[in-house]
Amino acid sequence: MRSSDPMEIGGLSVPRPEYPRPQFRRAEWLCLNGEWQFETDRGDSGEERGLAQRDLQGKILAPFCPESARSGVGITDFLNAVWYRRIVPIPEAWRGRRLLLHFQAVDYDATVWVNGAPMARHFGGFTPFTIELAPEFTGGHPLTLVVRARDDHREQKPRGKQTGRYANDGCMYTRTTGIWQTVWMEPAPDSYLRRPRITPRFADGEFLVELPVAHARGGQRVRARLFAEGREIAAAETACGTDMTPSVRLAIPAAERREWSPQSPFLYDLDLELLDAEGKPLDAARSYAGLRSVSVGDGAFKLNGQPLFLRQVLDQGYWPDGILTAPSDDALRRDIELSLAAGFNGARLHQKVFEERFLYHADRLGYLVWGEFPDWPPLGSWRKDVPSRPRATFLREWLEAMARDYSHPCIIGWCPLNETSWAAEPAGPELDELTRAIFAATKAADPTRPVIDASGWAHRVPDIDLYDTHDYVQDAAKLHDRLGKYRPGAFNDDTPSNLPRGEQPLFVSEFGGAWWDSAGAESENASWGYGQRPRTVEEWFERFSALCATLLRHPEVAGYCYTQLTDVFQEKNGILDFQRRPKIALERLRAVQQLPAAVETPRERPRSGR
């Protein structure tokens, strides 16, 4: 370990000490998780009262939000604004270099002061931002960092499943305010590498690696080297300054080509370098990549050109004592392992931009995930008490999330919106245009993955890549009959969906959700789920089995997503309880999902005639 390794700072134990950006790793860094000064500012008057210049009254354990028990604060009332303060010693070895100060996620409107000067402001509770500090900040003197986070949960902004009411209700849960992912810093030279964008070209057996450079100078070059199990198998370099973003192609020798898949999630290692005019390294970082392709065709979702039925589970990423923040890196990995043990091959990461460490583990374990955005309160809300005011911030923050996660092989598709209404008044026309704009922007930002315009209810874009629906009917026979209304070209008048399905694969992206509270009937009034509550766990299992079998055997269905992986507070419909304890033997669930899927069997598909 280097002296800047977070586990060795002052000999103190630091929460969530793992490197937070595993697909772009520099050797030197400093974790700033741990104890910060903290103060609530419910009237949002702190700047006028001088909170940016003085010590704060309390303490908090970052990166856990003040609503969580793990933070040591545990205030679950509305927090319109909160303040953080910390003095950070800078390693002497960093003297004379630029300093990059990273915030992985701060909810929602964050302003950062460094040594008393306002340095940056970022809007968005789910995406990272970086502050570049000039070399004079790294002269061996401590930095005083102050962060103000404003977070009025009653206003319309992307917040996912965070409730806008005082208490949890229905499928809305405890709020998150302020810092909830890792804060950290690293040194960088005068010119330095920015995060790469890695595109696998499966058919050609190569990677396209885009290598943006900050403050590029004449004569500099970028170089990428590709490794398989420690052996260098390809290398390429190019000059900076010719194109806005330098890029190289790394052709994999035929004997070294290994695809990434759930059965064999092989990852290549990448060494990235910025070189000066004499060929000497100025900056270096490590990354990795998976060689795989995703596509749709013949009524199926395809991975590496082969039909693959999506056996997925809804994962909302909540924790009893950390809210949106996992208690440990092991806990993130364990959720994936439990899901795989139950027979799922992936997840919808629902109404949350997950910590990037989750995607790292998914990459390593071959776990297929849909990248989604916490767009709720729903645009064009079905809730009468939530006004619909589409705003540009939805698109901007969504594109930031895509840019962070583009290179992860585990992500097999994008879905920016969830359960928007078809006739949303008074904002219907605006919602139509916003949905089309977000879809177009998503396709432009990433032409390599399928895109759904809005999951569930209302499709406004006729050329979406998969046609999905949500259906929580609990009777398998009724579900089978209802699926018949999604045949190509037919309107389904049982749901608020608008455009008829074309020849896209059909994805039942929410179903099941059967209410089962392992605490017993005495907790029935304090919990909820979908449908009539089963009387026994065996009745619950029979329902799960019948619904899964119906979808697997249906010739039009290309995949499903069961609701859900874990209970979340009052919502008791997980296959695990909120503490991640299985409610039923996971091998039984796995056995159900091993049934062959009709869509994976080659067949002649009838044409719709459209």
Domain total in the chain = 3
Q: How far apart (Å, rounded) are the C-alpha atoms in residues 442 and 398?
A: 9
Same domain, 358 and 220: no
DSSP string for 4-57: T-GGGGGG---SS-S-S-TTSB-S--EE--EEEEEEE-TTS-TTTTTTTTS--S
Domain assignment of residue 224, yes or no: yes
Give the tokens for residue 599.
């869509």
Domain boundary (260, 289, 318) is at 289
Q: Which domain CATH number covers 256?
A: 2.60.40.10
Do 441 and 314 have their domain in common? yes
pLDDT at 431: 77
Residue 585: the pLDDT is 97
Q: Domain holding 145: CATH number?
A: 2.60.120.260
Range of the domain at 585: 294-600
Cα 265 to Cα 360: distance, rounded to the nearest angstrom: 12
Residue 609 lies in a domain: no
Is residue 430 included in any domain, yes or no?
yes
Whether the Cβ atoms of residue 194 and residue 212 lie closer than 8 Å to each other: yes
Domain membership of residue 193 (yes or no) is no
Do 311 and 284 share a domain, yes or no?
no
pLDDT-derived band at 231 (thresholds 50, 70, 90) equals: very high
Instruction: Give yes or no: residues 231 and 332 share one domain.
Output: no
The two three-digit tokens of residue 139, written as one number: 């002269």
pLDDT by residue (tens digit) across 580-600? 999 999 999 999 999 999 988
Claim to verify: residue 280 and residue 305 sit in the same structural domain? no
Q: What is the pLDDT of residue 242?
A: 83
pLDDT confidence of 425, banded at 50, 70, 90? low
555 contacts 596 by C-beta, under 8 angstroms: no
473 and 596, same domain (yes or no): yes
Co-location of 147 and 280 in the same domain = no
- 124 vs 389, more confident: 124
Examine residue 192 and state whether it is found in any structural domain, yes or no: no
Confidence of residue 424 (pLDDT cuts 50, 70, 90): low
Same domain, 135 and 244: no
The verdict on 34 and 104 lying in the same domain is yes
DSSP string, 50-64: TTTTS--SEEEEETS
Structural domain includes residue 197:
no
Residue ending a domain, choose from 262, 289, 316:
289
pTM above 0.85, yes or no: yes
> Can you give the CATH number for the domain in which 539 is found?
3.20.20.80
Are 513 and 564 in contact by the 8 Å Cβ rule? The answer is: yes
Adjacent-strand bridge partners of 198: 209
Whether residue 378 has pLDDT greater than 70: no
Domain-terminating residue out of 120, 152, 186 = 186
- pLDDT score recorded for residue 491: 66
Residue at 34 is within a domain: yes
Q: Are residues 177 and 253 in the same domain?
A: no
Structure confidence by residue, pLDDT tens digits, 432-476: 888 899 999 999 999 999 999 999 878 889 899 999 999 999 999
Taking only the tens place, the pLDDT of each residue in 297-325 is: 999 999 999 999 999 999 999 999 999 99
Whether residue 90 sits in one domain with residue 122: yes
Asked if residue 521 is part of any domain, the answer here is yes
Checking if the pLDDT of 296 tops 50, the result is yes
Mean local confidence (pLDDT), 150-178: 90
| Residue 124 and residue 13 share a domain | yes
Instruction: Examine the pLDDT at 284 and tell me if it is beyond 90.
Output: yes
